Amino acid sequence: MEGENHVPDDLTPEEKQELENIRRRKQELQEDIQRLKDEIAEVTSEIENLGSTEERKNMQRNKQVAMGRKKFNMDPKKGIQFLIDNDLLKNTSDNIAQFLYKGEGLNKTAIGDYLGERDDFNIQVLHAFVELHEFTDLNLVQALRQFLWSFRLPGEAQKIDRMMEAFAQRYCQCNPGVFQSTDTCYILSFAIIMLNTSLHNPNVKDKPTVERFISMNRGINDGGDLPEDLLRNLYDSIKNEPFKIPEDDGNDLTHTFFNPDREGWLLKLGGGRVKTWKRRWFILTDNCLYYFEYTTDKEPRGIIPLENLNIREVEDKKPVSRAAPSSGAQRDYIKHQRICCSSSLADFVLHYSPFCLGRTASSFTSQTTKIR
């Protein structure tokens, strides 16, 4: 600093003053530069933190959406309500219809069951769902192929009736003038579905001919007959290519339980008035515990979400898990294990499985989603 502050003796007073001004200006500029660096570093840090926070929010949201889809596949109404309660879905018929129409990770059978319900709101969703289909310039068989691929037609006649009525209204809206009324479209659509079954079901021995199909559909166009060429084309289309039944999405429950992290028998404390211990088959996968009455059950009796639940050591003479060991070798207390307070319940079950799954019967206190 002494070298920087040194003033040569041979400078005039004016030059010395100018040098001092230059040095002072240099110091101010250096301070400004440092201040800008500090501000840039602060803004960069805020941006990084913001990005990290948004990333965490997106990850949490994606997990909740995945959970909602699984709940929907087991119980459509409960799954929709879960998504609404967690602000992942708006409680409007249009929004729910969009969710079902996209169908990502959704069981096609569950979609069909939900759309076929007779509640006023479900019927609104059904009509909004059908409105998302574009049938313009498609013949009736082509439109049916598109429509019946977006879900699996339920087995109940009343549900099928409501869905086909909504389909007929939409088809006539997209193709005005093809039929005299929506009733004509509705009746012919049913006739085509029955024809598909008769032609391609191996148990049906008496296969209908095109002449019989035409005869069966005489007078359905408000008392008049439909063009014979139209009926022949519809018949040939079904005969040459049957309707494809959509396979349920690969993210359904069968896939979920196919490769679990852990599985085994546990004792679960019942939630009724009389608290009793019941032996249940548990599966740990995707940060959730699913429990079944029997190992052969296809659907769980309930779900125990493990998201945001932590394990901590407690001062209690009883085992943390309230274990109910069945042999001396299994009388190990989980409380004697050194468990970090930040451990998640899923990690705990995964890493301390000798005490939790397969060897020791245990119960967990948690929010449990009842299925039935």
Could you give the residue numbers annotated as active site? Answer: 156
**Token pair for 222:** 């408000």
Do 290 and 300 form a contact (C-beta atoms < 8 A)?
yes
DSSP helix/strand/coil, 287 = coil
Contacts of 99 (CB under 8 A, 6+ apart): 83, 89
The label of the residue with tokens 């890493």 reads 351
Do 254 and 108 form a contact (C-beta atoms < 8 A)?
no
In 3D, which of 317, 305, 314 has the Cα closest to residue 364?
305
**Token pair for 215:** 């005869």
The CA distance from 193 to 187, in Å, is: 10
**Token pair for 47:** 């941006």
Q: Helix 228-240 to helix 140-149 angle, to the nearest 10 degrees?
A: 40
The CA distance from 321 to 307, in Å, is: 18
The label of the residue with tokens 């992290």 reads 261
The CA distance from 159 to 371, in Å, is: 23
Sheet with 369-370, side-by-side order of all strands? 262-269, 277-285, 288-292, 302-305, 369-370
| Start-to-end CA span in the chain (Å) | 82
The CA distance from 306 to 309, in Å, is: 6
